């Protein structure tokens, strides 16, 4: 048995959970916050048998798209923040960060 931990953008979470549910994958949804953009994310925990991992990864891949987003950079350290005018930069966001972990035991009470 495996535990898939997928960190996805909030914009993709509903589409992904619906697609997983349609293929009979059960998931637990956790709210999380990214460290880079300080934006809301969704972390999904998906338990599945070893032979179903590839199917789950394919569903995640198909439902979590990359997109570009404009972000204002943080102010420079030690500089005068009053005169600092941030110029937004374009960054690629989205997709999914996925961890596949072995499950030693599973209990449901």
Would you state the pLDDT for residue 105?
Answer: 93
For the chain, domains (ranges, CATH) are: 2-66+94-102 (3.30.70.120)
Please state whether beta strands 66-71 and 40-48 pair in parallel, antiparallel, or not at all (unpaired): unpaired
Tell me what the mean pLDDT of segment 15-24 comes to.
Answer: 96
Q: Are 1 and 48 in contact (CB under 8 A)?
A: yes
pLDDT digits (tens, 9 = 90+) for 32-88: 887 665 677 899 999 999 999 999 999 999 999 776 766 666 655 555 655 656 777
Would you state the pLDDT for residue 49?
Answer: 96
pLDDT of 89 above 70 = yes
């Amino acid at each position: 048995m495996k535990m898939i931990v997928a960190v996805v953008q909030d914009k993709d979470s509903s589409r992904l959970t619906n697609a997983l549910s349609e293929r009979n994958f059960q998931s637990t949804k956790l709210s999380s916050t990214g460290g880079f953009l300080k934006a809301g994310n969704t972390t999904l925990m998906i338990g599945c048998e070893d032979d179903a991992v590839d199917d789950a990864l394919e569903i995640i891949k198909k439902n979590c798209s990359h997109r570009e987003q404009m972000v204002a950079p943080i102010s420079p350290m030690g500089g005068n923040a009053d005169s600092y005018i941030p110029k937004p930069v374009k960054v690629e966001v989205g997709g999914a960060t996925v961890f596949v972990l072995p499950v030693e035991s599973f209990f449901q009470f």
